[in-house]
Structure 1
């Protein structure tokens, strides 16, 4: 019974997607909507296949920006979250600034990075860091703060120092929250890179979308959206795989 329910749960999402695509394709054909306004899924799939070599070239640039910015955000957020957790005055001083930074639309500050650092990859990496930093830092900080005090007192009563307690108790128990933040940031990283490319770049899926939009090639815009979605799924899946490797007990808990 449980096995059949599990199979049904796995089939429901793709079935819903196929239904949406079928309604979309049928609606476009029935209403005779021009392709330059709204192409159907079949047309988008053909365009995606036909422009795959070009999109792979642009996608490599976007992926490189995502990975570098994402890794930098992880390192920065991890270090700052640990310091904030250990030193309360730092947490009280820095956390409001972190929250306030999220109220500023990234699209409004990204042009400044273009002015300051030019049209290279650095402005895109900075944008990726900005959009990824807060979910990672806040998730890890919440995980560290949520550790049961009884565990901490038990280890301290056994003579464990702060570093040992952090390494053997707090970090392992905070890892599920940390990986939750990583999954959110993984999808944000692609968005951040694309936003940076919209504002000025020589290559990248954001640049490809902008050029296609200016030439009214809507099918190519949708094909780029598909590529961006696939990149996001790939990054989230990679984080999920890393989570299962690092904390295998989370998989047992979900089951």
Structure 2
């Protein structure tokens, strides 16, 4: 990065924000010109007004969705981490359960959600279970692929030096698996918010999904777009948080970036 001109760095950072601003400007022009009826596509200005007007209500619903997403993501990460370690350690478990893990991703979450509500009621539990199902797969597969990507010669060298299985896991396998783990965690963080909203569509007392259902029935599409923007913003914040944790947990990547 030290050899890249400052103007090029600034331009690369501004490309995404400028693209978003351009799309919003086109959207506003289309709405202002009357090319699309307002009840079908509210303008960005109306969406911002709805977001500001309902901000206190949205914050309350967002707190519920974030609590569900946080609990489900934490449980999904823990279960996925343990499952990946177990399948890496025991080949029989890998052959028995890996196809089942893959099979869980062929079932749409929208199809699972009504069953979870039927089984566990309208509280927080079915939402958390659905988020665990959605986040378990990226963590398990990413972690398992990372653990199995280690060079066998490194493991043989550690064994020749008298290292135990735990030492090999700690000093060789886990560092090698960290990039794939955090890649899966970033995907799971986005899935957590979406999974919470999908579960809330089918029943509940609070949450962004409940809010979306109410404003949709009232045909308040400006508020519908407002909550969509809020959900996207929350997902981005969670993904940025994962990146921050990754930089802390993998300091060698920061050194490599600075050298480049």
The TM-score with structure 2 as length reference comes to 0.96
Per the alignment, do residues 2 and 86 of structure 1 end up closer, same or farther by CA in structure 2, a change over 3 Å counting? farther
* Deviation readout 1:92-144 (Å, 9 max, x if unpaired): 10000011111111101110110110000000001110110000100000000
Q: How far apart are the structure 1 equivalents of 2:171 and 2:193? A: 34
Cα deviation, residue 32, structure 1: 5.0
Q: How far apart are the structure 2 equivalents of 1:90 and 1:2? A: 52
Contact persistence 1:35–1:218 (CA under 8 A): no
CA RMSD of superposed structures (Å): 1.1
Per the alignment, do residues 2 and 143 of structure 1 end up closer, same or farther by CA in structure 2, a change over 3 Å counting? farther
Match of 2:59 in 1: 56
* Deviation readout 1:47-72 (Å, 9 max, x if unpaired): 11111100000000000000000000
Match of 1:168 in 2: 171
Match of 1:34 in 2: 37
Mapping for residues 75-90 of structure 1, pairs under 5 Å:
75-90=78-93
Partner-residue secondary structure (3-state), 1:28: helix
Mapping for residues 61-76 of structure 1, pairs under 5 Å:
61-76=64-79
Instruction: Pick the aligned partner of 1:200 from 203, 222, 230.
Output: 203
Cα deviation, residue 230, structure 1: 1.0
Structure 1, gaps ≥5 residues long: none
Q: How far apart are the structure 2 equivalents of 1:118 and 1:24? A: 41
Which aligned runs of 4 or more in structure 1 are off by greater than 6 angstroms?
Answer: none
Instruction: Pick the aligned partner of 2:225 from 207, 222, 226.
Output: 222
The TM-score with structure 1 as length reference comes to 0.97
Structure 2, gaps ≥5 residues long: none
Q: Is 1:179 equivalent to 2:182 in the alignment?
A: yes
* Deviation readout 1:157-202 (Å, 9 max, x if unpaired): 1000111100111001111110010001100110000000001111
